[in-house]
Structure 1
């Protein structure tokens, strides 16, 4: 059911667990390599990712004295056996397990047809693992533009995010892609890591006054809020999602800011990264859709 959760001990007390910064897969150090080096001070239970950065780990010992010895020997010093990395170490403690399903969560579907949202389609395994690796290598060879919470690349027309900027501390807020800017079909190809995408259909006019809520907002544990209907779907790596018709024009969509998700009683940990290829066609002329209440061309 997932890895242990760690936090800082109260009053700086020692523990058998160490938080080690500047050390991890993102800097070329595998968990096995880290475990081997730290095991010279005592029996290691395991090495875990401290967060999603790939540069910080938790090293757990059987004995507290082993952690004390490792901290004394390695803290704030370069470690020759770990590529000369200058390590920053402090004690860490195991926290009580946190309830994965919070009061903002709703059941997550695996198939688009189960959501009952007209115009929404999902194709798992739309590309092969080899094609995924090729696409990721291609984008990593190109420059990224850094936004407040994520990085983007543009191909063809450049989207000006100043007209749809997300406030600090908010993830991918509920939104509908601008009607007047893009045509009726929008494709999204998910690579590298999985995620949950939520959809909301607001009552007429309610979305105009709605706050930009992130995944930690206090909402009803239901698929129906006070002024909107909610649906959620699991997007596995290499899957293609199509927005068309009502799904494209009338349903807000967003990605909750979770580190783990509960999908059919299985805990799914978010990957260290997720890359989404979003394919849109620039609209020529005003939008004439059947949802004028959401349409900037008709309102």
Structure 2
């Protein structure tokens, strides 16, 4: 998990119980547990925290000021044998009161089953390294559309970000030939019923530079069917999920207020989970995972997974395959469904249900 520390950068030599330690952290091969054990020889350590997103600087927080002073005198500027003879650069740091929007921690899972989100699947090594190279080369030979922080390509139908929907009357043509091998593998997807009959006709290719994430959202129900496949290429990331009791996304400031017991009349209960997406992995959102959980990627250059810092590469490219919906959505999650918020659509869905023709897609 990634929790940026609530301590200031060093601004002087005034002693404090908190030490800012450079040349020390997961990206230089030192886990938080090892760091804590070494600094713990000087007194009780309250915690070891990332100082920033580099993974090479930490905050060591002691219970007692004298312990921090002893560690400072013993380790600052000297090779530390238990830490691989690294020369540590230490300054004192000051605790800061957290701002109104400080991210709370969440553990990161490596497999979808650990999250226990119905309809969520993750297949590692869905394609080979050579297939990954071919896909990247194919899109790099085509033109990109630039958004504010990333580049995109659309095939089949263009996704309209202003309305978060597609214009079904503007068909761009069949999906490109370079996508065919991936589509064939998707048709053999053994984790979910109906994958072999799910004819995907829309592809969005996203290129994320380091540190760029994805805003929280549920793919518009009326725009796409019940299965969304997302293939990660070139780089990794952590994707997070939240589900709200009433299907309402709250700003992080409001979420923190709820956690503190403030404004209880305006709070909404939520569940938050996260999963690590390595290169060449395929993520499937179906059922509840597709219709009722917000998914998003935080804006980090480094993800902390199992106590290890993993830098996001020079870029991450995702291939997201979907089926464009040509009628109203009649899913089992009306509180999150834009189609069913209109009474006329509700009546239409009821009729479809009575006729026995309702499709899960």
Query: TM-score band (shorter)?
Result: 0.5 to 0.7
Coordinate RMSD, CA, aligned: 3.3
Query: How many angstroms does 1:264 deviate by?
Result: 1.0
By percentage of residues, which structure has more helix? Answer: 2
Contact 1:197-1:255 within 8 A present in 2 as well = yes
Query: How many angstroms does 1:218 deviate by?
Result: 8.3
Query: How many angstroms does 1:170 deviate by?
Result: 8.7
Q: Are residues 1:183 and 2:183 paired? A: no
Q: Which residue pairs with 2:300 in the alignment?
A: 258
Q: Structure 1 residues 205, 119: closer, same or farther in 2, change over 3 A?
A: closer
Q: Which residue pairs with 1:117 in the alignment?
A: 117
Q: Which residue pairs with 1:134 in the alignment?
A: 134
Mark the runs of 5 or more structure 1 residues left unpaired by the alignment: 1-9, 11-50, 52-93
1:270 to 297, 312, 336: 312
Distance across 2 between alignment mates of 1:138 and 1:195: 22
Distance across 2 between alignment mates of 1:219 and 1:106: 14
Distance across 1 between alignment mates of 2:90 and 2:314: 22
Superposed, 1:16-55 pairs within 5 Å as: none
> Aligned to 2:215, what secondary structure does the other structure show?
strand
Contact 1:183-1:282 within 8 A present in 2 as well = yes
Query: How many angstroms does 1:227 deviate by?
Result: 2.7
> Aligned to 1:132, what secondary structure does the other structure show?
helix
> Aligned to 1:162, what secondary structure does the other structure show?
coil
Contact 1:206-1:227 within 8 A present in 2 as well = no
Q: Are residues 1:144 and 2:186 paired? A: no
Which has the larger Rg? Answer: 2
Q: TM-score, normalised by structure 1?
A: 0.60
Distance across 2 between alignment mates of 1:234 and 1:267: 12
Distance across 1 between alignment mates of 2:274 and 2:92: 24
Q: How many residues align?
A: 197
Q: TM-score, normalised by structure 2?
A: 0.50
Distance across 2 between alignment mates of 1:191 and 1:280: 17
Q: Which residue pairs with 1:107 in the alignment?
A: 107
Contact 1:103-1:218 within 8 A present in 2 as well = no
Deviations along 1:190-242, one digit per CA (max 9) or x if unpaired, are 000000000000111533xx23x59xx9859x9xx963110000000000000
Runs of 4+ that moved beyond 2 A = 94-98, 102-105, 217-220
Distance across 2 between alignment mates of 1:284 and 1:258: 37
Mark the runs of 5 or more structure 2 residues left unpaired by the alignment: 1-10, 12-53, 55-88, 94-101, 166-210, 260-266, 342-361
